[in-house]
Structure 1
Amino acid sequence: METIGLIVPCYNEEPSINLFYDEVERVFNEMKENNMNYNHEYWFVNDGSSDNTLSLIKNLRSKDKNVHYVSFSRNFGKESAMAAGLDNVGGDYVAVMDVDLQDPPALLPKMIKYIKEDGYDVVGCVQKTRKQNPVRAFLSSSFYKVINKMSDVEIKQNVRDYRLMTRQYVDNVLKLCEYNRFTKGIFSWVGFNTKYIEYDGVERAAGESHWSLYQLLEYSLEGIVDFSDVPLKVATWVGGFSFFISIIGLIFVVLRAIFFGGAVSGWPSLVSIILFINGVQLFCLGIAGNYIGKIYLETKNRPKYIVKEKE
């Protein structure tokens, strides 16, 4: 019998653990009643939680030997948690799911059918509707437009990390072992035959989101830098344009001095030009520095996460 492995990143998700487990068990029991027989195993990744998340996972483990867990030595972030899940999960098919039930387990049978009957290698999920702050919605929409214009791979707007993947697909994702990870981009870069299904967004089953607006902005910049060198090209063009303007300005000053005499003193305009040029230089240096920082982290070859417990 084929097995579906479930990767479930957790960070302070004490209120959601048991709700998630019960819902997934209900879905798999319904699948068996409909002659869709699959074994399944859980890989909960405790990302340095400070509440009772790990205790609840261990309690599930004591009752169900299909429950496994990896617990980090500290909080390394969701990207590292997903990487740990991919490194450890078994099964013929692998799903990445959020424990807050915003990724409905009820979609799993539909996703399996697309892979088994239609020959897809991966089925991803896209939220059609989602209640969120208008500022976040605007920034999210803008991010996908920007990164899809800059990057060589297309990232579907409002795509979730929730997806079901074949073992072949997962094995190829594991070949991408970079330290700086933007998993949505990695999933798209790997390619293969991909199907996206849409669903209406649902509220969290319990608890609250741990993502602040600043973290989302930082994550967006991470994705752009990881999957596009366009910012470096922009810096080059901005620097070249500024140089061109400065040459034009120099020629203008020389010609005016030749034909009309000395230049009228204009300290404010001079200072403004100097500040503008310096600002452009710092802007370009900042972009280059961001990429150099990524190279620095990659060359240090640190592990993406450190495991404290595993079972």
Structure 2
Amino acid sequence: MPKLSVVVPCYNEEESIPLFYPAVSKIIAQMPVDAEYWFIDDGSRDHSLMEMEKLHQKYPDEVHYVSFSRNFGKEAGLYAGLQAATGDYVVVMDVDLQDPPAMLPTMYKDLQSGEYDCVGTRRTDRTGEAKIKSFLSSQFYHVINHISETEIIPGARDYRMMTRQMLNAVLSMTEYNRFSKGIFSWVGFRTKYLDYHNVERVAGTTDWSMSKLFRYALDGIMDFSDAPLSIATWFGTLIAGLAFIALIVVVIRHIVSPNASAFGWASLICIILFMGGIQLLSIGIVGKYVGKTYMQAKHRPIYIIKTKK
């Protein structure tokens, strides 16, 4: 039978891991596949690795794990799991069971039809999440799809099943700064999306704070669009135009009323601060891209493995 690899990145998920395996294995047992599980311990500070070891000892031929030397981030964990997977088909899932296991047979059936190379999922709502978080998320998709040539489906999850051919294409992208949602779309291949309603975590709490999500969104925009670099050009053009108009106004004002008083120092200070702010913003944007290029040029490993079984 075909082999299905289940890739599960984990960070501080000791409560979820014992619940994840029974729930997923029960569904996969009904599918005509041999399964293997790859749990990735992303430098967890709790007993996540211990829970993975327990599962491996109980199911040594089926459950495997990779433990990092420190926390490298979810993207590194996802990449490590994809590299370790040996299946004909690979599915990425969150360990907190927010990715409904009941969808697995449908995903596999769609791939077996030969019509698709990947079956992804997307949430149609964000019930249970803070409204501000849902609003910012929707705005992120709106912005990135307007400035990037790579379309990212709103609400798309990393939860997807793909063929070995598509997996190899994803693995061929060895960039240091990774944004998987963009990479999955960029490589192409025929993809079908299944909709589902938001599901609450089965246990534990999320480590994705607003600041982490903001940085993740910013990285995604910069990884798949150079539009921010154009901001400096547009700001420069706009300010130059406004300065030219202001110069004409000053000249005309002097001709019409030679004795009129000059603009006050407060206006001058505001203009100087405004110009300084624009310059710093432009330098900061360019600096972010240069920094990403610098990190890529170092050729550092995306992750370092401490234990693998």
Matching of residues 104-143 of structure 1 within 5 Å: 104-131=100-127, 132-143=129-140
Which of 293, 302, 305 in structure 1 is aligned with 2:303?
Answer: 305
Q: 1:296: which partner in 2?
A: 294
Amino acid across the alignment from 2:57: S
Q: 2:92: which partner in 1?
A: 96
Calculate the aligned-residue CA RMSD, in Å: 1.2
Matching of residues 52-71 of structure 1 within 5 Å: 52-64=47-59, 65-71=61-67
Structure 1 position 100, deviation (Å):
0.5
Which of 172, 175, 183 in structure 2 is aligned with 1:186?
Answer: 183
Separation in 1, partners of 2:142, 2:99: 24
Which of 36, 45, 53 in structure 2 is aligned with 1:50?
Answer: 45
- Structure 2 stretches lacking a partner, 5+ long: none
Separation in 2, partners of 1:242, 1:294: 28
Structure 1 position 87, deviation (Å):
1.3
Q: 1:273: which partner in 2?
A: 271
Structure 1 position 29, deviation (Å):
2.1
Tell me, what secondary structure is at the counterpart of 2:8?
strand
Q: Percent identity?
A: 53
Deviation per CA, 1:69-113: give whole Å up to 9, x if none: 110001111001001111111110000000010011111100011
Tell me, what secondary structure is at the counterpart of 2:178?
coil
After superposing the two structures, state which structure 1 stretch, 205-214 or 281-290, moved more. 281-290
Amino acid across the alignment from 1:26: K
Separation in 1, partners of 2:259, 2:308: 78
Separation in 1, partners of 2:260, 2:4: 78
Separation in 2, partners of 1:251, 1:141: 43
User: Structure 1-normalised TM-score?
Assistant: 0.95
Count how many residue pairs are aligned between Structure 1 and Structure 2: 306
Which of 204, 207, 229 in structure 1 is aligned with 2:204?
Answer: 207
1:12 counterpart = 2:7: no
Amino acid across the alignment from 2:78: M
1:39 counterpart = 2:27: no
Separation in 2, partners of 1:303, 1:23: 34
Q: 1:223: which partner in 2?
A: 220
Structure 1 position 264, deviation (Å):
1.4
Relative to structure 1, the CA distance from residue 175 to residue 262 in structure 2 (aligned partners, 3 Å threshold; closer, same or farther) is farther
Moved over 4 A (4+): none
Separation in 2, partners of 1:205, 1:237: 47
Contact 1:155–1:185 under 8 Å retained in 2: yes
Deviation per CA, 1:49-80: give whole Å up to 9, x if none: 11111111111111112111110001111001
Separation in 1, partners of 2:260, 2:6: 73
Contact 1:169–1:192 under 8 Å retained in 2: yes
Which of 185, 190, 193 in structure 2 is aligned with 1:196?
Answer: 193
Relative to structure 1, the CA distance from residue 192 to residue 262 in structure 2 (aligned partners, 3 Å threshold; closer, same or farther) is farther
User: Structure 2-normalised TM-score?
Assistant: 0.96
Amino acid across the alignment from 1:305: Y
Tell me, what secondary structure is at the counterpart of 1:87?
helix
- Structure 1 stretches lacking a partner, 5+ long: 32-36
Separation in 2, partners of 1:264, 1:285: 36
Amino acid across the alignment from 1:166: T
Contact 1:253–1:263 under 8 Å retained in 2: no
